[in-house]
Amino acid sequence: MERRDFLKGMGSVGIGAAGLGAWSDLVSQAHAATGEDYKAIVCLFMFGGNDSNNMVIPYDDARYAKYATDRRAIAIPKAQALPLTINGATDYALHPNMTGLQNLFNTGKAAIVANVGPLFEPITRAQWQAGQGRRPENLFSHSDQQLQWQTSSSMMATRSGWAGRIADMIAANNGANAGYTALSLSGNTPFLTGDRFQPYKVSASGNFGFDFYNPSGNDPLSKAITATLTRQSKHLFEQQWTRTVTRSIDNQRILTSALKNSTITTPFPNTGLATQLSMVAKLIAARGQLGLKRQAFFVSIGGFDTHGSDHYNSHGNSMGQVSAAITAFTNAMTELNLSENVTLFTASDFCRTYRPNGDNGTDHAWGANHFVVGGAVNGGQMYGKFADLTVNGPDDTDTGRWIPTTSVDQMSATIAKWFGVSAGNMGTVFPNIGRFASADMGFMKAI
């Protein structure tokens, strides 16, 4: 009964008759275009602030020489950098540990979104220096900018994430198993939390916590749990706890059953991030058994808050893990014949300062470069404006904290449009999008 009550509640999360009509039209278009009516987005969050100044670097002689001078001991040697071909030129390169992403980019399966970050509205260096223009609250703060990236709200006015707001609109269209519309492989996350929809948290190992429990079992532990869950209570908090645990157990049993028949042969590296993405691949493989049409996932990797002399090696190791995990995941989507149905993108608190600190580490900054990966991506290109790598230059606040030239809203809205959010609903998902020139940056293929 608890599960039916939960699903009944999910059924009320629809977007109204007009919205459902538009969704049905979109579903028909997607089915005709891909042969399967399924789409998924995967947010890969790099906690701590990824130094994208060393992830994507200038490669032409003049700008590289300036980059090497400015970054000093933490600069990537040019001979080791991995060149990218963009419109026949090799003006940019990747960190030497990112061979997988270099191949994905150069074969058109990945794109770069340049100098993107939270913005309330476009702002120039002159406005910044004069104290003009509204800027995101608590800039350079880990927790605040993590929240701003995931919620697409630069003024901290909401605790719902942009994928969660989409889930509010579309979950009912996923049918009886709508509870699996949004799944986190990395614990609680604002990104997938809606105003009414709550994400389902899944362990990357595939162990769901109550596998030992048999509702009809006679073993002492199962009997004790059953007695606890069926006990009547007038206390509101206890009632809510019982509903939550019962729902989790029911969801777990359904998901465990589906995963037993979900097979992926693509090998994944033995890292925490790769293990998360491997489970995402298995969950996507189970989509048919669960009757799902749209899903959003959240995975993460930490260790990017590198203020000290360990920065160069620590960041390099993280870049290798990110590249290898994304490459394996992309191969798994190809194995499932879903390359064009699944889009992965990276996000992070912020970039790091361009100029290193006194310990050859880096401090908190702002605008950063990110990847969008998948068969539906117009790959092999850079979108947005790469920062002018000049300390105290036109894109700098100070010490190489780049003022974003692209907002998180624009990058996210482009992905959301591909995912199925209509123009009429875009303002609900991204309340601030109207302050920017375009809600579609063009890095996703037309539906």
User: Which of 238, 219, 237 has its CA nearest to residue 229?
Assistant: 238
Contacts of 154 (CB under 8 A, 6+ apart): 118, 119, 120, 135, 136, 137, 148, 408, 432
User: Which of 365, 368, 367 has its CA nearest to residue 353?
Assistant: 365
* Contact in structure between 430 and 439 (CB atoms under 8 Å): yes
Contacts of 16 (CB under 8 A, 6+ apart): none
Q: From residue 22, give the alpha-carbon distance in Å to each of 16, 177, 192, 292, 437.
A: 10, 22, 23, 18, 25
Other Cβ atoms closer than 10 A to 46: 24
Structure tokens at 278: 């491997």
Contacts of 419 (CB under 8 A, 6+ apart): 39, 41, 166, 294, 343
**Cα-based angle 405, 409, 413 (whole degrees, multiple of 5):** 120
Q: Which helix (H) or strand (E) holds 44?
A: strand 39-46
Other Cβ atoms closer than 10 A to 21: 11
User: Which of 134, 130, 131, 135 has its CA nearest to residue 145?
Assistant: 135
Q: Which helix (H) or strand (E) holds 164?
A: helix 162-170
Give the largest Cα separation in the chain, rounded: 75
> What tens-digit pLDDT sequence spans the chain (447 residues)?
233 333 333 333 333 333 333 333 343 343 333 457 899 999 999 999 999 999 999 999 999 999 999 999 999 999 999 999 999 999 999 999 999 999 999 999 999 999 999 999 999 999 999 999 999 999 999 999 999 999 998 766 678 999 999 999 999 889 999 989 999 999 999 999 999 898 989 988 876 677 788 888 999 999 999 999 999 988 999 999 998 888 778 878 888 888 888 889 999 999 999 999 999 999 999 999 999 999 999 999 999 999 999 999 999 999 999 999 999 999 999 999 999 999 999 999 999 999 999 999 999 999 999 999 999 999 999 999 999 999 999 999 988 999 999 999 999 999 999 999 999 999 999 999 999 999 999 999 986
Q: What is the spatial distance between Cα 249 and Cα 338, in angstroms, rounded to a whole number?
A: 30
Identify the pLDDT of residue 92.
98
Structure tokens at 314: 């620590």
Structure tokens at 318: 């993280």
Identify the pLDDT of residue 35.
54
Instruction: Collapse the DSSP code of 151 into the 3-class scheme (helix H, G, I; strand E, B; otherwise coil) and give the result.
Output: helix
> For the whole model, what pTM was predicted?
0.89
Sketch the domain layout of the chain as residue ranges.
2-435
